[in-house]
Amino acid sequence: MGEDVVLVDRPQPGVTVLTLNRPAVRNAANWQTWEELGPAIVDAARDDGCRAVVLTGAGGAFCAGGDVKSSPSRGTGLGAPAARLLVAQRVLQDLLAVPKPVLAAVEGPAMGIGWSLALACDVVVAARDAVFGAPFVLRGLVPDGGAAWFLTRALGRQRAAALLLSGGRMAAPEADEAGLVARLSEPGAALADAVAMAMTMAAGPAEALRLTKGMVRAALDLPLERFLEVEWLSATLDITGPDAAEGRASFVEKRPPDFSAVRGDTPQET
């Protein structure tokens, strides 16, 4: 298929960076993008040495959406015209299923299904001049990649409808005000800031982070009574494990916690 369009890098211990690498088209997603991104996400999820994932784009753009110059169709039958969407949906599900913190580092445009990719991440770090957009109806299309689901839950029905029915855009500061961005960065610094945040998470208690991530996701779907059951189960699992033991010991000994031994990291020479 030619050169890789998804690059995998490990710039810091415990952190894996996945980069969409089609800068000439602002990283618009074609078949190859999804076929490479899916396995890269699954590999990062399974890699014990990876404790946080950062998703970004090359060349000052996150992702301009689906590549309209390549056909989304494949095969025959009723589902053939939107076959690429089915592959993309599987990749998004893989991204949502990663049991580790996943951060999006957004520079430039995050449009269409590119915005969906960012919304599927746990934390979005965006440059102040980044732009998010949902231009589906402007192309005669319906929202895809879970965009309507993500945005309706995040913004409420009225604001999501106004955005999706007009094919609207949000500048990064507006998205930040709406709760769609966790941190604003200076232009060009989103990846460095996201990696620094990922390093902090990667140094933390892996199982406690995994359980906390699950609780945050559960809070979107469950009534309080059911959520409190999830909270109790998570607390029960965590409190009997080594993460909580190290946390208690560090508090009693008046020192910073060191979860490296808990994770089984190789000791560093000093």
| Predicted pLDDT of residue 260 | 82
| Predicted pLDDT of residue 267 | 44
Q: How confident is the model at residue 145 (pLDDT cuts 50, 70, 90)?
A: very high
How many Å apart are CA 181 and CA 129, to the nearest integer? Answer: 13
Query: Could you report the per-residue pLDDT of 117-127, keeping only the tens digit for each?
Result: 999 999 999 99
Alpha helices in the chain (DSSP H): 31-46, 83-97, 113-119, 147-155, 157-166, 172-177, 190-202, 206-221, 224-239, 242-252, 260-263
pTM exceeds 0.85, yes or no: yes
| Mean per-residue pLDDT, 103-130 | 98
Query: Could you report the per-residue pLDDT of 24-51, keeping only the tens digit for each?
Result: 999 999 999 999 999 999 999 999 999 9
| Predicted pLDDT of residue 76 | 64
Q: How confident is the model at residue 71 (pLDDT cuts 50, 70, 90)?
A: low
Domains of the chain: 6-202 (3.90.226.10), 206-263 (1.10.12.10)
Q: How confident is the model at residue 241 (pLDDT cuts 50, 70, 90)?
A: confident
The pLDDT > 90 percentage for the chain reads 79
